[in-house]
């Protein structure tokens, strides 16, 4: 629905972005010549074999590392400025909760760091806890939660400052299939409710197809974007979609893009 606003600022705009790590045993080219635009409110997944630079790209957008070459802007600003302005929220593969803080205190962390008043903080935390269905657990500590619940806390924390961009690096990677599908549906709902753009790293083709407006396919040595596959499922991401032929057709399309050639009878197993 953002397509009509031609003048809208893009959430992420990368052109010719490269990253070289200088290691002891020489240089590692983690990314070369990445061109990628993520529109406001758009859900984009990054998929590709291990070592193709998915995490690296995400960390560049988050300004956790600096790009070696190219131009990278987040909402029209340099990534560094966007980080200081709290324009994005981030969730990692590990939930990364602070074990000595309660669920509420973990969710409130970004707000606390930006000196949001106590009352406002409390209201926002209550709201977010409801959003991720953890309203009854705000006073627990992370060690009293399951992995899936911890991951939901991490997502609530990422959403705390109401960012217009959500960066997620395999946030469901360590979870069982049931929890995973549940959280995927939750994320779809949350992304729709908040209108945030999402850049989502995953190893799972079905997950990428289910969640995304576009799936960015990457390939290693050197890390680069090889294909971008459009998903036509806006507004119909429910359980029925997981069983529909159109969905399997897209799964096959992404698989073929990943393997660089048509995969025969991919969904006839």
Ligand X SMILES: Nc1ncnc2c1ncn2[C@@H]1O[C@H](COP(=O)(O)OP(=O)(O)OP(=O)(O)O)[C@@H](O)[C@H]1O
DSSP conformational letter for 182: H
The residue among 257, 267, 91, 80 whose CA lies nearest residue 170 is: 91
Cβ-contact 68, 146 below 8 angstroms:
no
Distance of CA 51 to the CA centre of its chain: 17
Bond from prior residue into 222 cis (ω within 30 degrees of 0): yes
113 binds, among other proteins, ligand X, Mg ion, none (CB under 5 to 8 A by kind): other proteins
Beta strand pairing call for 214-219 and 224-230: antiparallel
Residue showing tokens 């290691």: 23
User: Least distance in Å: CB of 8 to other proteins?
Assistant: 24
Choosing from 39, 54, 157, 250, the residue that interacts with ligand X (CB under 6 A) is 54
The whole-angstrom separation of Cα 99 and Cα 145 is 11
Contact in structure between 16 and 34 (CB atoms under 8 Å) = yes
Q: With binding defined as CB under 6 A, does residue 51 bind ligand X? A: yes
Q: CB 65 → ligand X: shortest distance, Å? A: 7
Pick what 206 binds: other proteins, ligand X, Mg ion, none; C-beta below 5 to 8 Å, kind-dependent.
Answer: none
For the record, the structure tokens of 215 come out as 């799936």
Write out the residues near other proteins by the rule CB under 8 A. 59, 62-64, 83-86, 88-90, 92, 94, 96, 98-100, 109-110, 112-114, 141, 143
In the complex, least distance from residue 58 CB atom to other proteins, rounded to whole angstroms = 11
Whole-angstrom distance, CA of residue 11 vs CA of residue 166: 10
Q: Does 20 bind ligand X (CB under 6 A)?
A: no
Binding mask 46-85 for Mg ion (x = CB under 5 A): ---------x------------------------------
Q: Identify which range of 52-60, 96-104, 155-163, 239-247 contacts ligand X by CB under 6 A.
A: 52-60
- Shortest distance (Å) from residue 256 CB to other proteins: 34
| Number of residues lying near Mg ion (CB under 5 A) | 1
How many Cβ atoms sit within 10 Å of the Cβ of residue 139? Answer: 10
Q: Per rule CB under 6 A, is residue 223 in the interface with ligand X?
A: yes
Rounded to a whole number of angstroms, the minimum distance from the CB of residue 113 to other proteins is 5
Q: Does 215 bind ligand X (CB under 6 A)?
A: no
d(CA 96, CA 13): 28
DSSP state of 263: P
Interface ranges with Mg ion (CB under 5 A): 55
| Residues binding ligand X (CB under 6 A) | 21, 23, 28, 30, 50-56, 223
């Amino acid at each position: 629905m953002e397509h009509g606003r031609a003048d809208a600022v893009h959430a992420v705009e990368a052109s010719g972005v490269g990253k070289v790590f200088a290691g002891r045993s020489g240089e590692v080219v983690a990314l070369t010549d990445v061109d990628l635009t993520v529109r406001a409110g758009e859900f984009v997944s990054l998929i590709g074999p291990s070592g193709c630079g998915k995490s690296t790209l995400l960390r560049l957008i988050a300004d956790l590392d600096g790009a070696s070459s190219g131009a990278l802007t987040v909402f029209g600003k340099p990534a560094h400025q966007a980080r200081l302005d709290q324009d994005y929220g981030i969730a990692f593969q590990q939930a990364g909760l602070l074990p000595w803080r309660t669920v509420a205190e973990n969710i409130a962390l970004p707000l606390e760091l930006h000196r949001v008043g106590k009352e406002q903080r409390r209201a926002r935390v209550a709201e977010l806890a409801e959003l991720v269905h953890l309203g009854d657990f705000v006073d627990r500590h992370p060690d009293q939660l399951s992995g899936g619940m911890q991951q939901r806390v991490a997502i609530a924390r990422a959403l705390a400052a109401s960012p217009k961009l959500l960066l997620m690096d395999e946030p469901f990677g360590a979870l069982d299939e049931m929890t995973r599908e549940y959280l995927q549906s939750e994320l779809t709902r949350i992304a729709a409710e908040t209108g945030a753009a999402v850049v989502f790293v995953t190893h799972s083709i079905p997950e990428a197809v289910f969640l995304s407006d576009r799936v960015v396919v990457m390939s290693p040595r050197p890390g680069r974007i090889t294909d971008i596959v459009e998903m036509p499922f806006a507004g119909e991401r429910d359980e029925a979609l997981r069983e529909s032929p159109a969905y399997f057709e897209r799964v096959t399309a992404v698989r073929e893009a990943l393997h660089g050639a048509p995969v025969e009878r991919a969904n006839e197993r």
